[in-house]
Structure formats: structure tokens, C-alpha cells
Amino acid sequence: MRYGEATVTVVDPRSYMTYQPFLPEAAAGSISPRHVVVPLRRVLPKAEVLTGRVTTIDQDRKVATIAPLVGEAYELPFDYLVIAMGAVSRTFPIPGLAEQGIGMKGIEESIGLRNHVLEQLDKADSTTDEEIRRKALTFVFIGGGFAGAETIGEVEDMARDAAKYYKNVSREDMRFVLVDAADKILPEVGPKLGQYGKEHLESRGVEIYLSTSMDSCVDGHVVLKNGLEVDSNTIVWTAGVKPNPALARFGLPLGPRGHVDCEPTLQVKGTDYIWAAGDNAQVPDLVGRKAGNENAWCPPNAQHALRQARALGDNVISGMRGFPQKEYEHANKGAVAGLGLHKGVAMIVMGKVKIKLKGRLAWYMHRGYHGLAMPTWNRKIRVFADWTLAVFLKREVVSLGAMENPREEFYEAAKPAPVAAKTEEKAKAS
């Protein structure tokens, strides 16, 4: 695009982009949380970045209503529109889930999980009450896909390392539970590697319950459909994602699961000025359809989202200039998953050949692929630097739980002392 040909405005409730495949490693302290996010204003210096939310879209007038962080909502006109709102956690009306659950969709949740787990070790180490200790040291993860398996693998690794520094807590005192409604975990890498991942996690003491789900978790009392009941302060929810529900307010054609319905060119069906990509878009998988699967759709993963973004940018420019647009087509390159330090599974697709790896080599593939896919050289270098330093330095096991309420201590210090207040009242009365 030529300079001055268009003005690009990005509206997002956060001023940064999160590379979500690294959230489990950030939760385990293998990568600094700041290195998992990319500041939008820094990487998009020629674009206008507005921190806020799009609440409605008037397609007839071509205006979007913006709700900023502060102040009144206002209208923003546009000529062309790109929908890339991503996905949110897919939840169900399970009693206690909203109050007790911890998601893994954002860096804030990742940091919160790390601080929370280490705080539970602190609690268990400081009490002799067996009921409190048992509840603090029981960690329940719901969902056995990439997010769930990778997160429990990384967090178990971190907790095992951290326990070395506690006098009254050992790995044997902890209980890790993984639950999934399907009959296998890690379905993205195939049944054999999924079975290997299951056996590997079980060898590390993780309890895995398949073909079951959680009925309730009120006050941390977890009840599974298979009859198992456990008490836990830590319930991590990674049971899938769904398109951002705000899409329902925009008047766009949606698929059966709430995704924006797109043509193979990533243009929204029935429009000539709106495109969509990523987790919120329903894009035909042309490779799968050519292979005979007429209902193939691109899965919501980073592999497709990054490549769709490039194709979408080219097609928007082509649409502006009146040129034909290209259809998005990408063959699956495989999948990689890390299950903790030096442990992983990987399926690499090379044409019709599938190469399956496990253990340390798969872990190298996982880190190499995502390290190179991380946006910007600034963040690539920082991530690889974190990994390199970890070879020589021990893992950090410091809990910064006070970050969630950073002003609490200052607030308590600034409050008038009760005794002083009473003395002042007596003085006034006299």
C-alpha cells in the first residue's frame, strides 16, 4: 500500500497482542510475561490505535460505535472493515464455575495462575490443618486439548521445582487432576501421540479422567459426572473456545457456532467491504475440500490465523483497488505441543508423509516453531534469551500474588487509626 493511500485504525480493548501458544510457558515462568505480548502502538507506528470496544456496526451508514476506556461512546466512520476479534473461553452453566474457575486465554490469566499456584504452596507450608493443606495442594484442570495438556504439564513442572524450597511441601503432597469429556487428550496430534501424552502425564502423577465432565465446583468442591469428588482451590478451565459473543450485535452473517461466515477470499459473505480472519471467522478449508471433505473449515489455531492475516491484508488492498482477490489456501503443517521442560509431542506433515515425534526432540520442535512464529524480532530475541538463560539459571519460584491488589497495603496504611479517631472525638466533645 502506498503511503497516504489509506488510514488504518485498530480498535481493541487491550493495547497489545498476545501470542497465546506461549501462555502455558508464561504460567510456568519459562518466559517473561512481557515477552509474550506485542505492543500495538510500537509495531503499528503508522496506524491509529484506539483502546476501546466496538459496540455496534451500522452497515448502511458505514459507521462503528466505539466505547473508549473513559468518556462517552462515539461513532467512527469507515470505508472498509476487518473483523478480527478472536475467541473467548467456551463455558457452560456449571454451578460455581464463574466464581472459582481460572481461564487461560490472556496473559493476565496466565500470570494470575502462576501466582495463585505458588500462593497455594505458601498456604500449605504455613499450616498443619490437613484439610486446608489438601485443598490448597489439589489442582484440577478441565479440558485435555492443547491448552489443558500443555498448561498442566508446565504447571506440574513448576510446582515440582518449587516444592524443593519448601520444608513442609513435597510433590507427593500434591494432586493434579485432568478431566476431559472426550475419550482422549491432545486430539490435534493424533491418537498414538495423544496416548503417549496421556501415559507421560500419568507417569508424573497426574490423574486423568476421560469421557466425563464437571457437574459443579461450588466453593471449590469439584463434582465430576463419573462420581469423583475433590476439594480444590485451583480449578483451571481450558475446555475449548467460542467466537467473541459481540459478533452477534454486528448484523453479520454467522455460522452455526457463531463465527463470521466468510468466502475463501476471507471476505464476509454478502458484502464487498468487510473481511474477517482468525478464531472469529468461518473460513472454508480448500485443501480439505479438494481431498473430498465438503464440510472442511479452517481450525481456530495460530497456524491459520497468522497466514490468514497476510492473505487478508493483500485482499483488502486488492478490493480497494478493484483487483481480483486470492482465495486463502493452506495445507496443515502439523501440530506441536510442550508438556513441560524437555517433554513434548509433535506431528509434522510433509506432503502425504506424517512424521511423529515425542520427548525431547518434539519439545525442541515445539519451541523452535513457536519461537520463530512469535511476531517481531524484538519478541523473538527476548523469548530465545529467556530460554537460553534458563539453561544456566534456576527457575524463578516467587509468587507475586499482591499484584492483583497492589494498593491494598498502602490503603491499610493510609486509613486513619481507629484509636486516634476515638481520641479526636473525645477531644471535640470536651
Q: Output the CA–CA distances (angstroms, integers) from residue 282 to 133, 177, 228, 318, 324, in the order listed.
A: 46, 33, 37, 21, 21
Does the predicted model carry a pTM greater than 0.85?
yes
Q: What is the pLDDT of residue 428?
A: 61
Give the position of cell 515445539: 366
Provide mean pLDDT across the span 165-176: 94
pLDDT at 372 over 60: yes
| Domain ranges (residues) in the chain | 8-86+243-321
Q: What is the pLDDT of residue 190?
A: 87
Coil vs helix vs strand at 165: helix
CA distance 136 to 292: 51
Asked if residue 337 lies in contact with residue 188, where contact means CB atoms within 8 angstroms, the answer is: yes
Extract the C-alpha cell encoding 340.
Answer: 513441560
- Architecture in CATH of 8-86+243-321: 3-Layer(bba) Sandwich (3.50)
Q: Which of 105-109, 152-156, 380-384 has the lowest mean pLDDT?
A: 105-109
Provide mean pLDDT across the span 25-46: 92
- Report the b/e string of 26-57 with b at 16+ CB within 10 A: bbbbbbebebbbbbbeeeeeeeebbbbbbeeb
Q: What's the sign of the alpha-carbon dihedral 256, 261, 263, 265?
A: negative
Q: Output the CA–CA distances (angstroms, integers) from residue 262 to 82, 235, 268, 278, 291, in the order listed.
A: 12, 36, 4, 11, 20
Q: What is the pLDDT of residue 406?
A: 74
**CA 275 remoteness from chain centre:** 24
Confidence of residue 290 (pLDDT cuts 50, 70, 90): confident
Please, what's the largest Cα pairwise distance for the chain? Answer: 93
CA distance 267 to 231: 48
Asked if residue 101 lies in contact with residue 232, where contact means CB atoms within 8 angstroms, the answer is: no
Residue length, the chain?
430
149 DSSP 8-state letter: H
DSSP 282-325: E-B-HHHHHTT-TT-B--SSHHHHHHHHHHHHHHHHHHHHTPPP
Confidence of residue 382 (pLDDT cuts 50, 70, 90): very high
In three state form, how does the secondary structure of 231-248 look? ECCEEEECCCEEECHHHH
Mean pLDDT of the chain: 90
CA distance 184 to 108: 29
Q: What is the pLDDT of residue 350?
A: 79
pLDDT at 386 over 70: yes
Residues in CB range of 423: below 8 A, 6 or more apart: none
Provide mean pLDDT across the span 255-272: 93
Q: Taking Cα atoms as reference points, which of 379, 388, 328, 336 lies closest to residue 357?
A: 336
Q: What is the pLDDT of residues 313-342, one digit of tens each?
A: 999 999 989 899 999 998 888 889 999 989
CA distance 15 to 37: 10
pLDDT at 270 over 70: yes
For residue 50, what is the enclosing H or E element? Answer: strand 48-58
Q: What is the pLDDT of residue 302?
A: 82
pLDDT at 278 over 80: yes
Provide mean pLDDT across the span 114-123: 94
Residues in CB range of 322: below 8 A, 6 or more apart: none
pLDDT at 420 over 80: no
Q: What is the pLDDT of residue 425?
A: 58
Confidence of residue 402 (pLDDT cuts 50, 70, 90): low
pLDDT at 358 over 60: yes
In DSSP terms, 344 is beta-bridged to: 338
pLDDT at 100 over 90: yes
Provide mean pLDDT across the span 179-203: 93
Alpha helices in 72-163 (DSSP H): 97-100, 107-125, 130-136, 146-162
CA distance 18 to 37: 4
Please tell me which residue, 146 or 5, carries the higher pLDDT value: 146
CA distance 213 to 224: 6
Q: What is the pLDDT of residue 216?
A: 96
In DSSP terms, 334 is beta-bridged to: 348
Coil vs helix vs strand at 411: helix
Asked if residue 111 lies in contact with residue 33, where contact means CB atoms within 8 angstroms, the answer is: yes
Residues in CB range of 342: below 8 A, 6 or more apart: 359, 360, 363
